[in-house]
Amino acid sequence: MKIFRHYDDIPDICKGSVIALGNFDGFHRGHQIVIAEAGRIAREMNATLSVLTVEPHPRTFFNPGQEDFRLTSFRTKAHLLEAFGVDQLFTLPFDAELSRMPAQDFVLDIICDKIGALHVVTGYDYRFGAGRGGGTDVLAWLSEMEQFGLTIVEKVMEGDHIYSSTNIRESLRMGRVREVADRLGHWWCVEGHVIQGDQRGRTIGFPTANISMDGYLKPLAGVYAVRVLIEGGEVWQGVANVGRRPTFDKKDVLLEVHLFDFDDHIYDHPVKVAFVDFIREEKKFDGLEALKAQIELDCRTARELLEKPENRQDYIPMPRLDDYL
């Protein structure tokens, strides 16, 4: 997948594609249907499939001090889109200039002129332009005027609920990561480089790989059964704690992962931690022995959870475009 980070450096050979518009945070099943529809049209037109999004998220730009809320980092989202079958990812820098651009200029100058869209696909609630002044009505008007195709995908339902990043964030805040995986259509992951911690885990026989959760929405503080992919390596099972480590009076939120039957040093290695199931909420222990006893129990519980048929890695396979066509 080719990634373009500015609309002024797109070569002519990469123009003329079918484009899905949206932020696609989490890349949930509703997002997949929008992009799959763009993929279907692209194949009919013998064109490439592109996604147009912005970085950082507009909410971050307008409220830089707010609590982290994103389900996926840009790195994770790019990996998901590439695996899905997207040919090109246009990631525009959301800055003061773009935030002030009128909706009509966004379509005419960027989508039509700079990117050369043949056809645009988006969800029913897509908003764009200064003050979120543009919507599907503006797109419909401009598509007729500029002669590009337009498809609006209606809301995608999950029983009585709409598939939405907002709903999935609420589930994650309650620790319901197995439910989150079903709604996403893939395991919820945190990606990052392993950083050095206090190394207390080694003193009680449970060394951990520590990953910062900066930028990610924080799930319910507690212990989870996880799988860990070490870049360039294989997948390992493990148990993870997300929280502030109250036993040691820490305040920062950290993801600490103990990998089963693993003893290599992986400091600075990029890893992907997939949250599979919830075990218990975080709590404070009276001392190291009490903590060690609980970790031993958590490890046994995690192994049992990871062996359940519905928690197998391939039970929720990575979403692919061909699955929707």
Q: What Rg, from alpha-carbon coordinates, does the chain have?
A: 22
Residues 69, 150 within the same domain: yes
Chain centroid to CA 190: how far? Answer: 8
Give the C-alpha separation, 73 to 215, whole Å. Answer: 7
Residue 37 has pLDDT above 90, yes or no: yes
Residues 70, 201 within the same domain: no
Assigned domain for 176 exists: no
Confidence of residue 53 (pLDDT cuts 50, 70, 90): very high
For residue 264, the enclosing domain spans: 188-315
Q: How would you classify residue 294: left for phi > 0, otherwise alpha for psi between -120 and 50, otherwise beta?
A: alpha
Residues 72, 210 within the same domain: no
For the stretch 111-157, pLDDT in tens is: 999 999 999 999 999 999 999 999 999 999 999 999 999 999 998 88
Comparing 102 with 205, the larger pLDDT belongs to 102
pTM over 0.75? The answer is yes
CATH of the domain at 121: 3.40.50.620
Cα-based angle 31, 32, 36 (whole degrees, multiple of 5): 120
Assigned domain for 177 exists: no
Assigned domain for 31 exists: yes
Residues 250, 130 within the same domain: no
Residue 199 has pLDDT above 80, yes or no: no
Residue type at position 243? G
CATH of the domain at 262: 2.40.30.30
Average pLDDT over residues 67-90: 95
Residues 140, 246 within the same domain: no
Assigned domain for 173 exists: no
Answer whether 191's CB lies under 8 Å from 271's CB.
yes
CB atoms within 10 A of CB 43: 13
Residues 14, 155 within the same domain: yes
Residues 76, 213 within the same domain: no
Q: Which of 119, 142, 160 is the last residue of a domain?
A: 160
Confidence of residue 313 (pLDDT cuts 50, 70, 90): very high
Q: Which of 160, 180, 201 is the last residue of a domain?
A: 160
Residues 233, 282 within the same domain: yes
Q: How many domains does the structure of the chain reveal?
A: 2
Residues 237, 119 within the same domain: no
Residues 288, 234 within the same domain: yes
Res 204: pLDDT: 60
Residue type at position 117? A
Assigned domain for 114 exists: yes
Comparing 316 with 66, the larger pLDDT belongs to 316
Assigned domain for 79 exists: yes
Answer whether 191's CB lies under 8 Å from 228's CB.
no
Assigned domain for 183 exists: no
Residue 248 has pLDDT above 70, yes or no: no
Assigned domain for 265 exists: yes
Residue 249 has pLDDT above 60, yes or no: no
Give the C-alpha separation, 104 to 181, whole Å. Answer: 37
Residues 233, 277 within the same domain: yes
Res 203: pLDDT: 56
Q: Which of 145, 160, 175 is the last residue of a domain?
A: 160
Residues 251, 104 within the same domain: no
Res 187: pLDDT: 97
